[in-house]
Amino acid sequence: MTPTLRACLWMIGAIFSFTSMAIAGRQVSFALDTFEIMTYRSLLGIAIVCSIAYATGTWRQINTQQLGLHAVRNLSHFIGQNLWFFALTMIPLAQVFALEFTTPIWVLLLSPLVLGERLTRVGLIAALIGFIGVLIVTRPGSAPISAGLIAGALCAIGFAFSAILTRRLTRTQTITCILFYLTVMQAVFGLICAGYDGDIALPTAATLPWLVVIGCAGLFGHFCLTTALSLAPASIVMPIDFARLPTVAILGALIYGEQLDPFIFLGAALIFGGNYLNITKGQSRRA
């Protein structure tokens, strides 16, 4: 089996995982708030990461270096993930995923400020195309801008900061160390935010299976995506990842009766086009 075919199979796993997490997140949102969802997801993540680290002998890779950078990175991801879970309950699933796909555009724009990377002309054109796509997805003026749309747009910025800071961390930290602090710190953030009012809802027989899906699917999805990118170029992996949008749109229509809005697909296609342009042309210019 060729590396490209193996990457495609791993991406099928990523699509299935991220789609499952979205549906599970919506299912538990009626009983738990986003902070509680993140708390339980992170607690389960701690158990999974520690078990794998112990089984693979990578436990010693966990160190106390760069704790400040870990904290900022994980706070960015925590904010983005909470906004993502909130958006799931407010707007169609396809709209959430379309806005999430702007994360690479934000990485492109923010990397010069955080990492000192050069922003090319191709990068600026890619960002402009992606921004036009966002305008088509949200269509400001056609209807009042809702809290769900704002959350969906802002979650991509949180994910972008997380991705940029992860890139910095990978220069000195291992994946095991990064994932350990990701789960531990986000569990702490979740407990603080969920318990500020002294009332944390406990999982029930109805919500526990969905929480397990969220915890497992999130980690497995990122593992599948990372593995695929290690086997094939982003120019091959990214179009496959884009299949998440029609997949979740169809499931949203079948499960929740959401309309298949052609404007969402048109805007998402432009967002994808901007990302793809940067990967195929912008990266080569920087090389």
106 or 284, greater pLDDT? 106
Burial class (CB in 10 A: 0-12, 13-18, 19+), 104: buried
User: Distance between the two ends of the chain, CA-based, in angstroms?
Assistant: 29
CA–CA distances in Å: residue 36 to residues 28, 49, 222, 227: 10, 20, 21, 30
- CA dist 249 and 272 (Å) reads 16
pLDDT tens column, 114-147: 777 777 888 889 889 988 988 888 877 666 788 9
Q: What is the pLDDT of residue 141?
A: 64
Per-residue confidence band for 25, with pLDDT thresholds at 50, 70 and 90: very high
Residue 284 has pLDDT above 80, yes or no: no
Q: What is the pLDDT of residue 283?
A: 55
Burial class (CB in 10 A: 0-12, 13-18, 19+), 250: middle
Residue 188 has pLDDT above 80, yes or no: yes
- Structure token digits, residue 56: 């693979």
CB 95 within 8 A of CB 268: no
- The mean predicted confidence, pLDDT, of the chain is 88
The proportion of the chain whose per-residue pLDDT surpasses 70, expressed as a percent, equals: 97
Residue 171 has pLDDT above 90, yes or no: no
The proportion of the chain whose per-residue pLDDT surpasses 90, expressed as a percent, equals: 50
Average of per-residue pLDDT across 174-194? 92
Per-residue confidence band for 285, with pLDDT thresholds at 50, 70 and 90: low
pLDDT tens column, 205-228: 999 999 999 999 988 888 888 888
- The DSSP line for 30-93 is TTS-HHHHHHHHHHHHHHHHHHHHHHHT-GGG--STTHHHHHHHHHHHHHHHHHHHHHHTTS-H
Q: What is the pLDDT of residue 243?
A: 86
- Residue 19's SS3 state is helix
pLDDT tens column, 77-97: 999 999 999 999 999 999 999
